[in-house]
Chain A
Amino acid sequence: MKLELSDNKDFWAGLMLIATGAATMYIARNYAFGSTLRMGPGYFPTVLGGILILFGLYILVSGLRSRPPPNPPPQSASKTRVNALMPGEGGEGGSWSLRALIGLPVAFVLFGVLMTYAGFVPALLVLIFGSALASPQFKLAEVLLLSVILTALCVALFVWGLGLPYPLLGGS
């Protein structure tokens, strides 16, 4: 059962919605609810949180009722590729990369930290290098070159060109 659940997308989707809705209602209980005539700040979020829980229950139950086929049919290569590259549509099938899920947000956060304490150039170098590190097709020499060229381009475009007031080196 446990293994089946770990594969069940709808189950997790429903659970996520229920958790979000419950958290919303829990936090919103501190806000004045008001009445239908004079809605307090808590009215709208409480109602929305409730709706979210209902949607979550529906999706969770429908996920439990439909058992996923034991062996999902292999998707044709081209279909997977198109899915993966379609912006905003969400690639559903296929694999995903833990490396990317951790690496990209970390690179982003590092950029934020370094912008405050180290300056534009180090922040960008780390961001670009770190992002590239998250890719399964990482090649050291290529990425080093890319980091330097891209950083130079960004400095030229944003700092010199558009005049963004960021120190190239040193904290702000």
Chain B
Amino acid sequence: MDLFGNLFFGFGVALSLQNLLYCLIGVSVGTLIGVLPGIGPLGTIAILMPITYSISPVGALIMLAGIYYGAQYGGSTTAILVNLPGETSAVVTCIDGYQMARQGRAGPALAIAAIGSFFAGTVGTLLIALFGPPLAEVALKFGAPEYFSLMLMGLVAAAVLAQGDMVKSLAMVVMGLLLGIVGTDVNTGAQRFSLGITELTDGIGFIVVAVGVFAVGEIINNLGETSERVVFNSNLSHLFPTRDDLRRSIGPILRGTGLGCFFGVLPGTGPAIASFSSYIVEKKLADDPSRFGNGAIEGVAGPESANNADAQCKFIPMLTLGLPASGVMALMLGALQIQGIQPGPEVMTMRPDLFWGLIASMWIGNLMLVVLNLPMIGLWVKLLALPYRLLFPAIMAFSAIGIYSVNNSSFEIYLTALFGILGFVWMRLGFPLAPMLLGFVLGPMVEEHLRRAMLMSGGDPTVFIRRPISLAFIIATVLILIVMVAPAVRKRRVEITDNAT
């Protein structure tokens, strides 16, 4: 069958010695920063992106993706052992995972989290392989109006479903779109917002924005807080879950995987939403809900599967439609563009090695996390003792060198500093930052498709509702907005996001 032929081909690509190495580096770095609070996958991927210039597009993407799902894995490790979620997605895992650790059952909790994640990762991989090609086929027929409507839907959904204030998220998308059009207008050659600065005629660098906001801005913010970490000394001698643990976990893992896949393809819903929903479902279904919060293994198995499934399925819209569904996916898209590959449905036919190689590598990476990393947990946790005051200067140094190495330009260093300040101010004013990045990446494309659609239709804006596929996206956009503005949902949403953060 075609599916297996393609997957087989993908494994051929991913199993090359070089790509295996990139995958290993990726998941190891990912686990590391997942364990370390104060630096997340967004910042890390942005900082490391310049290094990927010199390696092949496949290798680059394999490594960056590894950082992403490796971080989820590392985040749950600290959630269980130290009650500190290294990543947002692991917040829910803290509830029961840490209780299990306190009861001396950290080993089984970690093991079931790994097993659940691995299972979810496998299903996610299969789903991408199954639904990727047909989706891309549909997308190949899209014209400018369809793309514009699709991006509109993606951006609105990403802003509205993300955590934080809805209006502020939408405003940040617009802010990103505006930042994205700085530089030379491709249609007319006119300079826009470059303020007479030569370096700005090519636009603001993607990495400048990402590193400025997610690394420098984040550190400025972190330094304002005093933090100390206490590592809970847990008995890690027996790693294996009991037969009873396994029996209890099968259901939650299956349901969590399903929920994660569902939320995964929706734009904007972070892994925190998927894992939180899974936790709620498991608690509702349990015959004795009071066990939850006191070390129920279901409360670890479900959410951990959900957040990993979510992480994998986020790749579906990015790889097939060129539509990033989260901040990390926006970075991946940027990485592709930097490598000279225009994201979209063509990727699958023009660069099958990239598509299938990446998918296969995700499965291999998940396996690496279980086989290589699970036994090394003790080592990772030791790194928690590393104080932040020693860590952040290193992050600053890597950020600066990374930015400088892109164009050997001091100007970009200054610009990054500026975006650090902006990022900090935005954060303090309660603006979520990921929507800005999405808008920034898509900005030029949104404008381009809008212009083309208008030219095609002779300036008639009804073109967006006269073409069926485009109409469907517009209706979906309006529905999302209506549903989210409805008072009942709004209240519920606030509850969920409050609880999830």
Interface residues of A (CB under 8 A from B): 9-10, 12-13, 16-17, 20, 24, 27-28, 31-32, 35-41, 44-45, 48-49, 51-52, 55-56, 58-59, 78, 80-92, 94-97, 99-101, 104-109, 111-113, 115-116, 123-124, 127-128, 131-132, 134-138, 142-143, 146-147, 150-151, 154, 158, 162, 164, 172
Which chain A residues lie closer than 8 Å to B426 at the CB level? 90
Contact A85 B397 (CB under 8 A): no
Which chain A residues lie closer than 8 Å to B43 at the CB level? 87-88
B334 within 8 A of A: no
Contact A89 B413 (CB under 8 A): no
User: Of B387, B401, B431, B455, which is in contact with the most chain A CB atoms at under 10 Å from its CB?
Assistant: B401
Pick the residue among B163, B175, B225, B393 that contacts A91 (CB under 8 A).
B225
Given A104-B216, A128-B393: A55 in contact with B174 (beta carbons within 8 A)? yes
**CB-CB nearest in chain A for B54:** A162
Give chain B interface residues in 214-235, CB to chain A under 8 Å.
214, 216, 218-227
Pick the residue among B226, B416, B424 that contacts A108 (CB under 8 A).
B416
**CB-CB nearest in chain A for B41:** A87
Contact A9 B225 (CB under 8 A): no
B200 within 8 A of A: no
B190 within 8 A of A: yes
Which chain B residues lie closer than 8 Å to A128 at the CB level? 393-394, 396-397
Given A39-B451, A49-B178, A116-B410: A87 in contact with B405 (beta carbons within 8 A)? no
Given A49-B178, A89-B163: A150 in contact with B394 (beta carbons within 8 A)? yes
Name 11 extra pairs, CB < 8 A, besides A24-B178, A109-B414, A132-B389. A41-B188, A87-B38, A89-B163, A90-B430, A105-B417, A108-B413, A112-B400, A131-B392, A137-B387, A150-B397, A162-B54
Contact A86 B88 (CB under 8 A): yes
Given A37-B458, A40-B188, A49-B178: A112 in contact with B404 (beta carbons within 8 A)? yes
B187 within 8 A of A: yes
Pick the residue among B85, B225, B400, B459 that contacts A80 (CB under 8 A).
B225
**CB-CB nearest in chain A for B222:** A84
Which chain A residues lie closer than 8 Å to B87 at the CB level? 86-87
Q: Which of B164-172, B260-268, B274-282 contacts A (4 or more CB under 8 A)?
A: B164-172
Bound: A59/B185 CA distance, A: 31
Bound: A39/B185 CA distance, A: 11
Which chain B residues lie closer than 8 Å to A56 at the CB level? 171
Given A52-B175, A87-B41, A164-B405: A154 in contact with B397 (beta carbons within 8 A)? yes
Contact B84 A82 (CB under 8 A): yes
B454 within 8 A of A: yes
Minimum Cβ distance to chain A for residue B6 (Å): 34
Which chain A residues lie closer than 8 Å to B42 at the CB level? 87-88
